[in-house]
Amino acid sequence: DAGVTQSPTHLIKTRGQHVTLRCSPISGHKSVSWYQQVLGQGPQFIFQYYEKEERGRGNFPDRFSARQFPNYSSELNVNALLLGDSALYLCASSHSQGRSPLHFGNGTRLTVT
């Protein structure tokens, strides 16, 4: 079975631009979460979607938004990019809201210049 897939793997954007990151969960997983990992730190929770509804939001500005599609894939959008948005963005999926662990993708490395 394919794992969590994210695209693109790397991205370079300029300050003020907009970016869309994509994630396909493991087949059968209905929950998708997004995390931001700045170099040298642990991942920080951004969003969680379950059955296409937002179930949690971390302490991030409104420039960050996300959605989940009927096939459970997800997009993370970031508007008005800042230099501080440069990070590894990780997507994770899980089977349900129960005791199943998160399975992470390889991430998208975003560089804002």
Partner 1 sequence: AQKITQTQPGMFVQEKEAVTLDCTYDTSDQSYGLFWYKQPSSGEMIFLIYQGSYDEQNATEGRYSLNFQKARKSANLVISASQLGDSAMYFCAMNAGGTSYGKLTFGQGTILTVHP
- The site that binds partner 1 (CB under 8 A) totals a number of residues, namely 29
- Please state, in angstroms and rounded to a whole number, the distance separating the CA atoms of residues 40 and 25: 26
Residues 16-35 binding partner 1 (CB under 8 A) are: 31-33
Q: 3-state secondary structure string, 38-76?
A: CCCCCCEEEEEEECCEEEEECCCCCCEEEEECCCCCEEE
Asked whether position 88 contacts partner 1 by CB under 8 A, the answer is: yes
Rule CB under 8 A: say whether 50 interacts with partner 1.
Answer: yes
Position 36 contacts partner 1 (CB under 8 A): no
Span from 16-24, 62-70, 79-87, 91-99 in contact with partner 1 (CB under 8 A): 91-99
User: Which residues in 54-83 contact partner 1 (CB under 8 A)?
Assistant: 55-56, 58
Which residue from 58, 59, 45 is spatially nearest to 91, judged by alpha carbons? 45
Q: Please say which residue, 10 or 14, places its beta carbon nearer to partner 1.
A: 10
Of 112, 113, 108, 84, residue with least CA distance to 10: 108
**Does 99 help bind partner 1 (rule: CB under 8 A)?**
yes
